[in-house]
Amino acid sequence: MNLKEEIIKLKKELDVTLVAHFYQRDEVFELADITGDSLELAKKVMLTDSKYVVFCGVGFMGESVKVMSPEKTVLMPKIACCAMARMIDEGYFEQNLKKINQAGIPNENILPITYINSSAAVKAKVGQMGGMVCTSSNAYKIIEKGLKSGKKIFFVPDRCLGQNFAKSLNLKSAIVGDGSDLKEADIICYNGFCSVHQLFDVDDIAFYRAKYPGILIVTHPECKPEVCELSDFVGSTSQIIDYVKKLPLDQKVAIGTEYNMIKRLRKENTYVLSSSKPECPTMNETTLQDVYNTLLSIKEGRFDNEISVSEETRKWAYEALNRMFEI
Ligand code: 13P
Ligand code: SF4
């Protein structure tokens, strides 16, 4: 039996749901029972009744499953960390909050919202302050709801997502520590970013528009504001897939998101909006061999890379995630 067949056999035998984000390598993605963007994965996994969840993605995704479904045993073939999620921890969260306070905005006037790309510990901080989680597919709704509180939004950790949604809602944004006036802003952003989505530039858009007049430019909201502003469509990974699948096959499109997803999406008339190969290094870490090793560890009772979250953290992170699901 080859590795692929071994995995399929073990999966059945052990009552495992294999989950993969769109950015996973093809050979891993193909074997998954559940695939999707980060919101879809969080929702779909909550509805499964299998005992074990093997999550191929980045650390915060496995943690979110554990927070929402503590009864499940969640394992990750690679505990790969999203580089953006690593840009903030509880200490940096507090430090930034202090800077906002020093600008004359007390905590009572701040509602934190964290992008799902953050650790359970950061989500817990947000939950404790009455805040909530959002993903790239529901950020618009969540921020709109947050603004109804009459407070300023402290958006962590992705400054681009914060700036892009502020722009689309006709609101002012500012970044902590870059000298901008925080008091003037409706959305105050933490200074984090995704290094993969920073690769796309306005020059790339100009290049494709000049080379293929009529081409459509599609980007993820983690891209820079000036890039999103020049795009024909901006959306989460699932929203990009839906948008591109509905285009006529002869419509050229250049996409600014992760390489594995783009190359799987459509073969004809589809371009990567970069002269480089924008793979997410940590999403790419998970191999078929890792998946097999994890399944074997369940069979042998070792439970390698099992995800755990302390009860105190889980309780508050649950609040932040659950407020998102309620909306
Ligand atoms: P999605 O919510 O679109 O799946 O995005 C997750 C992510 O990490 C994009 O870089
Ligand atoms: Fe994190 Fe960027 Fe990778 Fe998405 S693409 S998982 S935001 S590092």
* Of 155, 152, 156, 161, nearest in space to 184 by CA: 152
Cβ–ligand 1 contact at 136 (below 6 Å): yes
Mutational test site, ligand 2, from 280, 282, 284, max ligand atoms within 8 Å of CB = 280
- Residue 168, Ramachandran bin (φ over 0: left; ψ between -120 and 50: alpha; else beta): alpha
Is residue 173 within 8 Å of 188, Cβ to Cβ? yes
Residue of the nearest CA to atom 2 in ligand 2?
A: 194
Q: Mind listing the pLDDT tens digit for each residue in 106-149? A: 999 999 999 999 999 999 999 999 999 999 999 999 999 999 99
Residue at token pair 């591109």: 244
Whether residue 309 has pLDDT greater than 90: yes
Q: Which distant-in-sequence residues (6+ apart) come within 8 Å of 75 by Cβ?
A: 52, 53, 54, 55, 62, 294, 297, 298, 303, 304, 305, 306, 307
d(CA 66, CA 70) in angstroms, rounded, equals 5
pTM of the model: 0.94
DSSP 8-state symbol, 80: P
pLDDT for the residue numbered 37:
87
Q: 3-class DSSP state for residue 135?
A: coil
Q: 3-class DSSP state for residue 218?
A: strand
d(CA 259, CA 256) in angstroms, rounded, equals 9
Q: Mind listing the pLDDT tens digit for each residue in 8-64? A: 999 999 999 999 999 999 999 999 999 998 888 888 998 999 989 999 999 999 999
d(CA 135, CA 115) in angstroms, rounded, equals 6
* Helix (H) or strand (E) run with residue 65 in it: helix 59-68
Cβ–ligand 1 contact at 223 (below 6 Å): no
Indicate the pLDDT class of residue 1, thresholds 50, 70 and 90.
confident
d(CA 288, CA 20) in angstroms, rounded, equals 12
Q: Mind listing the pLDDT tens digit for each residue in 177-205? A: 998 899 999 999 999 999 999 999 999 99
pLDDT for the residue numbered 42:
84
pLDDT for the residue numbered 38:
86
Whole-Å CA distances, 4 to 22, 28, 30, 197, 310: 19, 9, 10, 31, 34
* Of 85, 34, 69, 109, nearest in space to 322 by CA: 69
List 16's β-bridge partners, or say none: 52
Residue of the nearest CA to atom 5 in ligand 2?
A: 280
Indicate the pLDDT class of residue 152, thresholds 50, 70 and 90.
very high
What's the rounded mean pLDDT across residues 157-181? Answer: 94
Mutational test site, ligand 2, from 22, 220, 282, max ligand atoms within 8 Å of CB = 282
Whether residue 218 has pLDDT greater than 90: yes
Is residue 291 within 8 Å of 20, Cβ to Cβ? no
pLDDT for the residue numbered 294:
98
Is residue 70 within 8 Å of 314, Cβ to Cβ? yes
